A and B are shown apart, each in its own frame.
Chain A
């Protein structure tokens, strides 16, 4: 695993984002390194979604800097972010269920030979890229409606990587899946980590998954960073408490204990 001495692939410094009088993010600093999984944790309304949108160019921060490989960068559009190597895999995956695996993989970025699509080459690349993440696609001309949720997640990840993602943002990739498929996705994420080229930002509600796969942790609460650090710096037993907003849970606990005694 890469050590902290390297320059982060992506870094936020003192980023704030306001929507009218709502403070969505306040003075948030955050970093992700290649070959590492940075787990971004926090309850609903903690600012995770806003942070992802800042990272992927949907929102422009009101304060602070975004650094890619140590170089300050501004994203005016999601396209700018994509060009800088930010690949975002949203929960709905942006896939077309009735279209084939290959056509989904290359949608919007098709390879043509002359006037026509080069289906053979695209099928081949799809099969190869999926195999890199441990999925053997026997027939890439099948509609993806036939694939499992986990396999679709892998398709969306493979697509982002193939089209040049240096930073892979996974927005709750396990939340809509069954238990077995969740593990499939975690296995895929691990495969990406082992490539040692891509910084993975893993957003989740699930403390077990975060514990399994995370190298670094950043906890958000009410738009601020509550805690962050490497695996060995974080009190792993306290993960769930931190996710729920730390202090509040402790207060609740003592409150309950007081009433029961």
Chain B
């Protein structure tokens, strides 16, 4: 029986390439890179942005920061959920970590406790979302206010400060040895491996590989797509949809925690404004990267490319003096819209075959 032959012939190489969710962001990245290469050439800053280590550092570190959040944001979006609280959770994590240090907890337990706190927070958010059936947009909007508010409230009440400096605590030999300690090596190193980057860049690289493999090659990854695509159908074949979603909210909160801790470790202080607006940057990266807001479709690699697009546009504008800084926002807005259009078009192509 060959009832499918006429369909199969249409499915060629081009088709399977078009079917990749990150296709749109590959184009987007190429356009952004070329655009900024041309513009920096015109203004004579090409080498400052593209070959000078400090120039490269500027946009790579931003891409890593936004990219780490975008990893969580894209997984959640594929699972059909949304987390607006990640930016605020960076501040909550930083403040929690700094307070623990100030009250005499050594560095390692303080890091662990902060991760436990944020994982628990993610768990609570996840449980509220799956139990109440409220849109995660609303639930996490609540935490967008509450997390940062609670962080600043704590530091104000306990220490009468909103910005917490922990330089002395971090300089004290946490492990009892000489500077740098193993902790410094794990969390606060910069310019490691002969590259001009801070710690988050290396964490970013490791996380991207791990999560991309998780999503494409593991059964949990399969469940993430199913949970967002059609949760009822997923439950009917035994996928624990609620557990998948709760774990992703926990992951999202833990990624914010990683950034909060890293920022405190490298800068020696926790700022109440840390991570402000980063949730929107991460969501923008995920959308540019081809994730469907409705769930069931997307990729981590796409979100990572989206983070690079965001970072190059955001930092690149400083290298092009003849363009107004505010134009960056206009550009970014158009970029998000364009990417969303393109991705929708590509997604429909996938369904039509």
Residues of chain A touching chain B, judged by Cβ–Cβ distance below 8 Å, are 79, 90, 92-99, 103, 106-110, 112, 115-117, 119, 134-139, 141-143, 145-148, 150-151, 184, 187
Contacts and interface: CB of A to CB of B under 8 A. Distances in A.
Interface stretch (B23-31, B128-136, B221-229, B329-337): B221-229
In the A-B complex, the 9 residue pairs with the smallest Cβ-Cβ separation, listed nearest first, are A146-B353, A145-B351, A108-B238, A108-B237, A94-B236, A134-B1, A94-B233, A110-B219, A138-B8
Interface of B: 1-5, 7-8, 11, 16, 19, 213, 217-219, 221-223, 225-226, 229-230, 232-234, 236-239, 296-297, 347, 350-353
25 contacts: A94-B233, A95-B230, A95-B233, A96-B226, A97-B351, A99-B225, A99-B229, A107-B239, A110-B222, A112-B218, A116-B218, A117-B219, A117-B221, A117-B222, A135-B4, A136-B4, A136-B5, A136-B8, A138-B8, A142-B11, A142-B16, A143-B19, A143-B351, A150-B3, A187-B1
Contacts of B2: 136
B233 A96 contact: yes
Most buried by A among B3, B5, B7, B297: B3
Contact of A107 (B11, B237, B347, B350): B237
A186 B232 CA distance: 26
A175 to B, nearest CB: 18
B236 A99 contact: no
A138 B11 contact: yes
Contacts of B1: 134-136, 187
B239 A98 contact: no
A121 B352 CA distance: 27
Nearest to A148: B7
Given A135-B1, A139-B8, A148-B7, A115 B218 contact: yes
A147 B208 CA distance: 32
Given A94-B234, A94-B237, A151-B3, 12 more contacts: A92-B232, A94-B232, A94-B236, A98-B225, A98-B347, A98-B351, A107-B222, A109-B237, A119-B217, A134-B3, A143-B350, A148-B7
A99 B11 contact: no
* Most B-side CB within 10 Å, residue of A93, A98, A150, A184: A98
Contacts of A92: 232-233
Contacts of A109: 237-238
B338 to A, nearest CB: 22
B253 to A, nearest CB: 24
Contact of A90 (B4, B236, B353): B236
Contacts of B236: 90, 94
A135 B237 CA distance: 22
Nearest to B8: A138
A97 B297 CA distance: 10
Contacts of B4: 135-138, 147-148, 151
A90 B16 CA distance: 30
B220 to A, nearest CB: 9
Contacts of B347: 98
A108 B234 contact: yes
A146 B223 CA distance: 21
A138 B4 CA distance: 9
Contacts of B237: 94, 107-109
A168 to B, nearest CB: 15
A143 B239 CA distance: 19
Contacts of B217: 115-117, 119
Contacts of B222: 99, 103, 106-107, 110, 117
Contacts of B353: 142-143, 145-146
A93 B230 CA distance: 11
Contacts of B11: 138-139, 142, 146
A116 B218 CA distance: 5
Contacts of A135: 1, 3-4
Contacts of A147: 4, 7
A98 to B, nearest CB: 5
A93 B229 CA distance: 14
A99 B350 CA distance: 10
